[in-house]
Amino acid sequence: RGLIKLVADAERRVLVGATSAGPAGGEILGALTVAVQAQVPLTELVRTIWAYPTFHRAIGTALADLS
């Protein structure tokens, strides 16, 4: 329940924006904020093993939608 919207720079292959809404939106948005600020490559985000997969598995789904 909820949604995650990601915006990526296709040329640099990094996230440049993200938003989330839902019961764990704050938890998810915190992780995505770090990814945007640190310019983490999308390939690294896809390979990430999240500490709380019940909250964060939606990030993997949203990343898959980018490709």
d(C-alpha 24, C-alpha 66), whole Å:
21
- What are residue 15's DSSP bridge partners? 8
More confident residue, 9 or 31: 9
Supply the pLDDT for residue 51: 76
Nearest to 24 by CA among 46, 63, 57, 49: 57
Q: Quick one: 3-65 is in which CATH superfamily?
A: FAD/NAD-linked reductase, C-terminal dimerisation domain (3.30.390.30)
d(C-alpha 12, C-alpha 54), whole Å:
29
Supply the pLDDT for residue 57: 82
Nearest to 65 by CA among 30, 26, 15: 15
Whole-structure pTM value: 0.82
pLDDT, one tens digit per residue, over 13-67 is 999 999 999 888 888 888 899 999 999 999 999 998 877 667 778 888 899 988 7
Supply the pLDDT for residue 60: 87
Domain locations in the chain as residue ranges: 3-65
